[in-house]
Every structure is written in structure tokens, then in C-alpha cells.
């Protein structure tokens, strides 16, 4: 995915950090991702920051568990769909 990649080389911290979320979200091309990773692994500041954002995103992802559709609503939805003609 290169939709918002201006193609400029990653030459400093700002360049790397501008691409950080795209990288963590898996939105960069493999080549681009290698570039950003190589900066991050060689730069303590960016490494600390990338590590923090990654743990933050993991915490968000973990917050997804639970909070599913209540059983009563599931039944209501199926009932309403049957009334509309759902046969299976």
C-alpha cells in the first residue's frame, strides 16, 4: 500500500516517525517497512517511541475482547429476520 507514501527516503527521525503508525498497522510496502525498521533499530529515541506505540496498540486490541452482542438482542434480530422471511 503506497497511497500516502510520498516516496521520500527515510533519512531522519521525523521521516521514520511519520511512517511509524503506517508500519505498525501493516500499511507499508515491504521495502518501505524495512527502511523504517532499519532506522528504528539503530536509533534509541525512535526505538523507545516505536516500542511504546506498539504496546499502546496492543492494549487497544486487547480491549476488544468481551462486549459482544447480548443473547437477547441476537434472538430479537433473528426473530425480526424470520418475520422478514429468513428461512435458515
Partner 1 sequence: MLMTAPEAAHALFSANALTALDDVYRFARSLTRDEADAEDVVQETYLRAFRSWQTFQEGTDIRRWLFTIARNVFLRSREKARREVTLDDDGAEAVDAAQASEVWLRRGLDPILASADLGPAIHEALDAIPETFRSVVVLVDLEDQSYEDAAEVLGVPVGTVRSRLFRGRKLLQERLIAYAQDAGFVPAPDRSDA
24 binds Zn ion, rule: CB under 5 A: no
* Phi, psi dihedrals of residue 31, rounded to the nearest 5°: -65, -45
Q: How many residues does the chain have?
A: 88
Q: 46 contacts which partner out of partner 1, Zn ion, none, CB within 5 to 8 A by kind?
A: Zn ion
18 binds Zn ion, rule: CB under 5 A: no
Q: 65 contacts which partner out of Zn ion, partner 1, none, CB within 5 to 8 A by kind?
A: partner 1
What are the grid coordinates assigned to 39, written together?
A: 532506522
7 binds partner 1, rule: CB under 8 A: no
Q: Per DSSP, which regions of the chain are E strands?
A: none
Binding mask 21-50 for partner 1 (x = CB under 8 A): xx--xxx--------------------xx-
* Phi, psi dihedrals of residue 9, rounded to the nearest 5°: -65, 150
Amino acid at each position: 500500500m503506497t497511497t500516502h507514501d510520498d516516496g521520500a527516503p527515510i533519512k531522519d527521525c521525523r521521516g521514520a516517525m511519520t511512517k511509524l503508525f503506517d508500519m505498525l498497522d501493516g500499511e507499508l510496502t515491504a521495502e518501505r517497512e524495512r527502511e523504517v525498521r532499519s532506522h528504528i533499530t539503530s536509533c534509541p529515541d525512535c526505538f523507545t517511541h516505536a516500542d511504546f506505540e506498539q504496546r499502546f496498540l496492543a492494549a487497544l486490541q486487547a480491549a476488544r475482547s468481551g462486549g459482544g452482542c447480548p443473547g437477547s438482542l441476537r434472538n430479537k434480530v433473528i426473530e425480526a429476520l424470520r418475520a422478514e422471511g429468513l428461512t435458515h
